[in-house]
Chain A
């Protein structure tokens, strides 16, 4: 094993990390907002809204992400109206195309997760809140949404990790994130296995860190699931 090569490969791939994280976090953030909107449309009980959300989710979940990226990056330029619109400076850049495609894609998957979370909120909780005199919006903001987020968090954590993996596809439209740099390094050195090990380890470290953060968030959000401290300990704290 050639450790100096591993080290130099690591140093060559490291500059791709910020771009990978940017692509992942910006698209997850935007996608989450869109996912919430889609989930609300889906549960709105208004037929046309429901159908729009269903169609969106179906279309984005049953076509490959790479096709979606190509449709946005290469495809939209086919129309002169797009090329002469105010959005063109943005749609011309692979960076924004990748973010738009990733965000639209994760929104479809995320909305199903959020929908599950929203539906898991017990009826009694919302009824109690209504009985306290909260308005519908207050009930949603104070009761339903927090409970739904808590319920959906583990599944959403998985989705975030899938998104980190999905950012690799941005390399196909010339973005030099970790996978893009890895592909370049492989074609320069012909040492695919070593570069793969280094790039793979970087992804594993990122994903491990994200799982830890999600676990911490989950722990923080579920005080009711933690073991109850023994009375003796509580008494001592009172004494202090």
Chain B
């Protein structure tokens, strides 16, 4: 007998899990967004290294993307969560802290997502840059733009335009990957569902709710990204 209706379990009234699940959804979106942006920054440098770096820089970037695509994301999360304490505790000792120091789960999670998604960002940016017509870049230099100005006004906007579909894919990946951070105890959607499942003895209800929340976030953001894509490619003829 299931005597709690879904509406009661997830109500926003005291005793209901609605507010907690909403806060957890906000946390998921926050950690995914922060990780995604940091990953994009890593990806920009990675793409730059692959496109115009010397042999050493290029092979470092190649090594980074190859290794990260072959290693489970969960392992990377463990590395940052547990590994940070190995680095921070001795530093803390120098400054007089005796306890066990580690990165906050949010920060460790963002870093892990950034490092993992940075590998995908690198490839997406590199691919997009290669689609940018050579002539546009040559024309920018020919009109006397400096390298920085050409990058800001011509290369970056055009690359972003071509990178948008790939970035949308990465965003969906990152969103799903953020659920792995629940293993470090960060209270995002999945962790909150585990807590709820434990205290109400209704695991199916809660994990189903988690699935629906992820579905909603990914559909809504997918829809928004599609609109953005249409907006930014409006100048391009569709063959």
The complex places the Cα of A171 from the Cα of B197 at a distance, in Å, of 20
The complex places the Cα of A192 from the Cα of B79 at a distance, in Å, of 6
Taking CB atoms, residues of chain B closer than 8 Å to A166 are 72
How far in angstroms is the closest Cβ of chain A from B21?
13
Taking CB atoms, residues of chain A closer than 8 Å to B82 are 186-187, 190, 192
Is A11 part of the contact surface with B, judged by Cβ < 8 Å? no
Measured CB to CB, the nearest residue on chain A to B71 is A200
Main secondary structure of the interface of A (DSSP, over half): helix
A67-B179, A78-B203, A192-B79 known; A62 and B218 CB under 8 Å?
Answer: yes
Interfacial residues of chain A within 59-101, with CB under 8 A of chain B in the complex: 59, 62-68, 70-71, 74-79
Taking CB atoms, residues of chain A closer than 8 Å to B178 are 64
Is B33 part of the contact surface with A, judged by Cβ < 8 Å? no
Q: Are B70 and A75 in contact (CB under 8 A)?
A: no
Interfacial residues of chain A within 172-225, with CB under 8 A of chain B in the complex: 172, 179, 182-183, 186-187, 190-193, 196, 199-200, 203-204, 207-208
Taking CB atoms, residues of chain A closer than 8 Å to B76 are 196
A64-B176, A66-B179 known; A71 and B215 CB under 8 Å?
Answer: no
Taking CB atoms, residues of chain B closer than 8 Å to A186 are 78, 82
The complex places the Cα of A232 from the Cα of B147 at a distance, in Å, of 55
CB 8 Å contact bits of B63-80 with A (1 = contact, 0 = none): 000010111111110110
The complex places the Cα of A167 from the Cα of B205 at a distance, in Å, of 25
Q: Are A75 and B182 in contact (CB under 8 A)?
A: no
The range of chain B's interface size is: 35 or more
A75-B203, A196-B79 known; A62 and B214 CB under 8 Å?
Answer: yes
Is A40 part of the contact surface with B, judged by Cβ < 8 Å? no
The complex places the Cα of A75 from the Cα of B209 at a distance, in Å, of 11
Taking CB atoms, residues of chain B closer than 8 Å to A63 are 176, 211, 214-215, 218
Identify B207's interface contact among A71, A165, A192, A204, CB under 8 A. A71
Q: Are A193 and B71 in contact (CB under 8 A)?
A: no
Measured CB to CB, the nearest residue on chain B to A180 is B74
The complex places the Cα of A168 from the Cα of B77 at a distance, in Å, of 12
Measured CB to CB, the nearest residue on chain B to A207 is B70
The complex places the Cα of A63 from the Cα of B211 at a distance, in Å, of 6
Is A21 part of the contact surface with B, judged by Cβ < 8 Å? no
Identify B204's interface contact among A75, A203, A204, CB under 8 A. A75
Task: Give the total of A residues in contact with B, Cβ under 8 Å.
Answer: 40
How far in angstroms is the closest Cβ of chain B from A214?
14
Q: Are B190 and A76 in contact (CB under 8 A)?
A: no
Measured CB to CB, the nearest residue on chain A to B84 is A192
CB 8 Å contact bits of B174-190 with A (1 = contact, 0 = none): 01111110110000001
Identify A77's interface contact among B73, B194, B203, B215, CB under 8 A. B203
Is B172 part of the contact surface with A, judged by Cβ < 8 Å? yes
Q: Are B215 and A204 in contact (CB under 8 A)?
A: no
Is A161 part of the contact surface with B, judged by Cβ < 8 Å? yes
Q: Are A67 and B70 in contact (CB under 8 A)?
A: no
Taking CB atoms, residues of chain B closer than 8 Å to A203 are 70-72, 75
Is A169 part of the contact surface with B, judged by Cβ < 8 Å? yes
Is B226 part of the contact surface with A, judged by Cβ < 8 Å? no
Q: Please list the 9 inter-chain residue pairs (A to B) with the smallest Cβ-Cβ separation, ordered nearest first.
A: A168-B72, A75-B204, A192-B83, A64-B179, A192-B82, A74-B203, A64-B176, A78-B204, A196-B79
Binding site for A on B (CB under 8 A): 67, 69-76, 78-79, 82-83, 85-86, 172, 175-180, 182-183, 190, 193-194, 197, 201-205, 207-208, 210-211, 214-215, 218-219, 222
Q: Pick 6 A–B contacts, CB within 8 A, sort by A.
A: A67-B214, A70-B193, A182-B78, A190-B86, A192-B79, A203-B75
Taking A59-B215, A77-B203, A192-B79 as given, write out 18 further A-B residue pairs in contact, using a Cβ cutoff of 8 Å, ordered by the A residue number. A65-B176, A66-B179, A70-B190, A70-B203, A70-B210, A71-B204, A74-B203, A74-B204, A75-B204, A78-B205, A165-B73, A166-B72, A172-B183, A179-B75, A183-B78, A196-B75, A203-B70, A204-B70
